[in-house]
Amino acid sequence: MGKEKKAGNVYVPNREIFQRINYLYQAAHMVLKNCPSNTELVRFYMQSIKTMAKRQVLRLDPSIKRNICKKCFMLLVPGISASVRFKAKQEKRCVIRCLECNTVKCFIHSKDYKLWGQQPEAWMDQSHTNGKGPG
């Protein structure tokens, strides 16, 4: 397992990796905001984030994952590197198109919609196990 550091009164595993991911994400935003023509540096930062998370077997937060183009690793910022449209066929959807490679991402846009990780069924319930292992 990774090293654990104490943050306040809570142990946070892989704290340094998460700090590095946070720094690279913020740096990519700043580069894209200040110099939109420097897309190669932004792609490098985003690809580094994905590589670090993959090597350390960490899950990126959905808010970060949704802002990375799966094809060209571009940071998707509305108006700068992505266009955002809302469509309502059967259910409301947010359609994000990367302006670099024209890849499209669709997300359900609803007040009651929750990601699987936010639903109670996805949480491990410790009351059923009574402290016993499997079997």
Sequence-distant (≥ 6) Cβ neighbours of residue 80 within 8 angstroms: 32, 33, 36
Q: How many domains does the chain have?
A: 1
- CA dist 40 and 77 (Å) reads 15
Asked if 74 and 46 count as a contact pair (C-beta separation under 8 A), the reply is yes
Residue 70 lies in a domain: yes
Give the model confidence (pLDDT) of 74-83 as tens digits: 999 999 999 9
Give the model confidence (pLDDT) of 104-122 as tens digits: 998 887 777 666 666 777 6
Asked if 28 and 46 count as a contact pair (C-beta separation under 8 A), the reply is yes
Residue 43 lies in a domain: yes
pTM: 0.73
Residue 128 lies in a domain: no
Give the position of tokens 């654990």.
4
Task: Dig out the tokens for 19 from the structure.
Answer: 């700090």
Provide the residue range defining the domain that includes 31: 4-120
Residue 129 lies in a domain: no
Radius of gyration of the chain (CA): 19
- CA dist 4 and 16 (Å) reads 9
More confident residue, 116 or 22: 22
Residue 135 lies in a domain: no
**How confident is the model at residue 40, as a pLDDT?**
95
Q: What is the DSSP string of 4-67?
A: EEEETTEEEETHHHHHHHHHHHHHHHHHHHH-TT-HHHHHHHHHHHHHHHHHTT-PPPHHHHTT
Residue 132 lies in a domain: no
